[in-house]
Copies of this chain bind each other. A is one copy, B any other.
Amino acid sequence: MQFIKELRDGEKISSIYLVKQKISATTKAGKAYDNVTLLDKTGEISAKVWEPNSPAIDEYEIKDYIEVTGEVTTFNSALQINIRRARKVSEGEYDPGDYLPKTPYDINTMYEELLGFVDSVGNPYLNKLLSVYYKEDQAFIERFKFSSAAKTMHHGFIGGLLQHTLGVVKLCDYLAANYEKLNRDLLITAAIMHDIGKVRELSPFPENDYTDEGNFIGHIVMGVEMVDDAVFGRNGKGGIEGFPRVLAEELKHCILSHHGEYEFGSPKKPSIIEAVALNCADNTDAKMEIFTELLESEGGKSGWFGYKKMLDSNTIATRTE
């Protein structure tokens, strides 16, 4: 397979890619052609089909996998592919792992581990709230397991939301065991649900882009709405009888304040110790993953990586073994 990141001007290609976008257009001379965006796990590339009605071009849609034959050219200082032949391929002809970025850990194993934490929450109201989403709502569960945690920051891959959530939950579990003022049930519940709004903030892969609601409301406030849905009954959920008012407020507060600072989009700063702990855990797991992804993307490089905005620092791989 010829990965997109490695294509060079002038190269002939014959390789399978995932279709991310397909838009029909017309040249100034009135001739129909297709603008296509192709995707693999290494990046995206624009492509042109100049003869869309030719027999060499199969019917295909967005999210189809097609085998493309053509050549790489430069247009407006960027590479693009002129597609001469496009064949829609079948499952089995390609490895999905080559096309969409995915967590390196097993999704089902991670989800089982997360459910273990759900079961460990003894407070009946919190336990029920978690169950409503993580054990009873199959559509949500599917969405949660395959969602990314970001468009471009850390954990921006399939299963990323689950991996990040589990990382935060485990770190909170450590904190609850080591700092005695922490209420473990509240902290674990808040950790499991802290980014729950991301299942609606980002559209599923291969798009993985901000939804309207994501842009307008944001996952932090949507997380509060999702707590409300389950606690008070709405959107097909039945409500949880007797859920204590203060408990609901404390949980929603943890979600609202988990970014820790106003400038990171939290409308409240942490006011209870569990909110402080969640903010620390979220920040720690995020930074560990950011640096891990950086080390992988700069993998072969000896020497300094240069300034990296997400870490606000010039970075390098540790050389001591």
Whether B266 pairs with A267 at a CB distance below 8 angstroms is yes
Whether B175 pairs with A284 at a CB distance below 8 angstroms is yes
Per the 8 Å Cβ criterion, residues 269-296 of A in contact with B are 269-274, 276-277, 280-281, 283-284, 287-288, 291-292, 295
Bound Cα distance A152, B252 (Å): 26
Q: Is the interface of A mostly helix, strand, loop or mixed?
A: helix
The 8 Å CB contact of A221, one of B221, B233, B288, is: B221
Chain B residue, CB-CB nearest to A284: B280
Q: Which of A37-45, A108-116, A210-218 contacts B (4 or more CB under 8 A)?
A: A210-218
Chain B residue, CB-CB nearest to A269: B313
Report if A315 contacts B (CB, 8 A).
Answer: yes
Among A180, A213, A270, A284, find the residue whose CB has the most chain B CB atoms closer than 10 A: A284
As for how many copies of this chain the complex holds, the number is: 6
Per the 8 Å Cβ criterion, residues 142-162 of A in contact with B are none
The 8 Å CB contact of A276, one of B180, B212, B246, B291, is: B291
Whether A295 pairs with B273 at a CB distance below 8 angstroms is yes
The 8 Å CB contact of A174, one of B171, B182, B225, B249, is: B171
Whether A268 pairs with B216 at a CB distance below 8 angstroms is yes
Bound Cα distance A175, B283 (Å): 13
Question: Which residues of B are found within 8 Å of A77, using beta-carbon distances?
Answer: 77
Report if A316 contacts B (CB, 8 A).
Answer: yes
